[in-house]
Structure 1
Amino acid sequence: MKVAIKRMDVSMQMSNKEAQKKEVRNKEADKNDVLLATGFLTEYAFLQSLFQSKTLVSMTIFWVIFFGGFGLLLFKFASA
């Protein structure tokens, strides 16, 4: 009898944990739906990746400097 009660308690705890996981997934899905509707999903995903990867940070800094310098070069050519 005690074993059956323990099993019920464990199964209830598992179902509570699963319900919490589903709730977190639903909140994440709602946030992704809002970001997709507003057009900011790719930027949000890029920023999440950027905060997790040192390589992506260094590549982003390099390309921003490169394109900024290229833009200045074209501006100087156009104004000369």
Structure 2
Amino acid sequence: MLPRYPFVLTSSQSDHQEEPGTVVEYIRTTRSVSKVSFIGWSAAAFATGPYAIKNSGKVDSLRFEMDENGGISPEP
């Protein structure tokens, strides 16, 4: 049996405010780059959009993808 992880894995604050910064810093450090590009699908705008606005010096570009159904799968 695997040990239990004693911390909260996610919250709306970590998803939308803290997590993008953690990921960006990891990429900047490990890849030795000054800026990153975000490519997101649908709800990614809630996390990456505000981060990009507040941290424009760390974000090179921001792109969102969506299908013709607005990101919602049609009923079969």
- The structure showing larger relative contact order (alpha-carbon pairs under 8 Å, at least 6 residues apart) is 2
Regarding TM over 0.5, the answer is no
TM-score by length of 2: 0.32
TM-score by length of 1: 0.31
Q: Which has the higher strand share?
A: 2
